[in-house]
Amino acid sequence: MFIAVSAVSRAGGACTSTAAPLLALHLTGSPFYAGLMAAAGAVPNLLAHLPAGVLIDRHDRWQVMKYSQWARVLSIAALLCCLLVLSRFWRLGAMIAIPCLIALESIFATTFKMAWTAALPQLAPVRLLSQAIAQSETQHHVALLLARPLGGIADAISHKSPFVLNLLICTASASMLSHLKRVMPIADSGEKHTGRARDRPRVSGDIKRSFTWIRGDGFLRQSLLVFSITNFFFQMTVILMIVIMKDKGLSSVFIGILLAASGVGGILGSRIAIRTLKLIGLKHIALIATFCWTVMLVLPVFWTTSPLVLVGVWAGVGFVGSIITVARDLYQAANVPRELLGRVASLNTLTAQAPSTLGALCGGVAITWLGARPTALVIFVALWVLLFVIPISGKRRPYDRARISRAETTLSGLL
């Protein structure tokens, strides 16, 4: 049930992110306002990660989850009030308020997600932790795969429908939380949630501790490098594939199938992630994943840009990506101190997501200047360079080997 709460919450957020630009076009017809609405959901989401991590580690994670979900409910309800009431009497005020409320909802959604990630290792028994993380990854892909087209269908019925749907989803998620056993406060650290504010370290100091911990851990440092660089180039790849399909005269339906392929691959990958990781271990997972991604790009770069090949490659990217994500989350849950887990998880998520935004922009610029095939070659070469950088980026120390061993023991449910 705890995992279902997260899946339901993510589905609601995906509905809103899909519908917000469509709502902007309906209200104003302005592409600029549509871009502003999309940015209102994306940019605050990124900026909220580090402060949310500090908040989660300083306070009871159960309370953070509960209050952030109810805050989402209030934000969406206020947005609907703007659409139904304020827009009739003061249109300019509604145009200003709606992006602000979408930004607030995005911030609260991020806070909930990171609190949930930090609370999972406390709730799941050690013997079931790896299965819980893999199941969470599966439900994440299922929720996004279903919610995005559902948001589009709801928008076709009424431009307010996706937000009504998100309101119902968030209310259901918040209500489900009230039926779960309260997560105990952090027990394995000397820090207390109830200390006076002046006795606590500064927020910047708390964030710095998470940077220091990741910098001193070979596995997480290597994972951070791989996720940030590959997500940058994969967003370039998405733009590239869409341009190729448009040049071939394919419909938007086929492009939708392409974008959904990574979700299908992610579902399949997360279903077999535990067995795969038991077979190959965690030590070289970053190198193996990058090698697989690089080999997949051989087909579209040097052989054919057939739409079926592109869909297969993108599904393969999602398949491998879900396995390495489960590996990182499992290692993180098994080794990061509980009092740091919120900040470390938030930093890892931020560094994985932030390059995606820049990658989409750079993809459009590269294709315009270089053309589709040279851009594909640049992406391919960049991944090959990463293959040679990975071994020197994660130099192992004795305690790194012990941490990998602990995570692999958790993987087997024997710790």
| Alpha-carbon gap, residue 295 to 302, rounded angstroms | 11
Contact 80, 159 (CB under 8 A): no
Query: Are 2-126+135-181 and 209-411 the same fold in CATH?
Result: yes
Predicted pLDDT at 42: 76
Nearest alpha carbon to residue 137 among 288, 9, 271: 271
Nearest alpha carbon to residue 45 among 328, 349, 363, 343: 349
Q: Which residue has the tokens 């209050």?
A: 67
Kindly give the interhelix angle for 203-215 and 341-370, rounded to the nearest 10 degrees: 70
Predicted pLDDT at 268: 93
Contact 398, 216 (CB under 8 A): no
Predicted pLDDT at 180: 65
Residues (pLDDT < 70) of the chain are 1-5, 7, 124-126, 148, 152, 180-205, 251-253, 255-256, 305, 394-396, 413-415
Q: Which residue has the tokens 């993108």?
A: 314
| Alpha-carbon gap, residue 42 to 48, rounded angstroms | 10
Contact 236, 288 (CB under 8 A): no
Here the tokens at position 279 are 């077979």
| Alpha-carbon gap, residue 415 to 409, rounded angstroms | 6
Residue 191 DSSP one-character state: -
The CATH code for residues 209-411 is 1.20.1250.20
* Amino acid identity, position 177: L
178 Cα distance to chain centroid: 25
| Alpha-carbon gap, residue 414 to 127, rounded angstroms | 6
Number of alpha carbons in the 13 Å side-chain half-sphere of residue 78 = 18
The CATH code for residues 2-126+135-181 is 1.20.1250.20
| Alpha-carbon gap, residue 257 to 295, rounded angstroms | 22
Return the SS3 of 200: coil
Predicted pLDDT at 189: 41
Residues 6+ apart with CB under 8 A from 192: none
Residue 188 DSSP one-character state: S
Domain ranges of the chain: 2-126+135-181, 209-411
| Alpha-carbon gap, residue 273 to 371, rounded angstroms | 36
| Alpha-carbon gap, residue 234 to 230, rounded angstroms | 6
35 Cα distance to chain centroid: 20
Q: What is the pTM of this model?
A: 0.82
Q: How far apart are the first and last CA of the chain?
A: 24
Angle at 216 between CA 210 and CA 219, to 5 degrees: 95
| Alpha-carbon gap, residue 237 to 242, rounded angstroms | 9
Nearest alpha carbon to residue 257 among 306, 312, 301: 312
Nearest alpha carbon to residue 352 among 338, 335, 332: 332
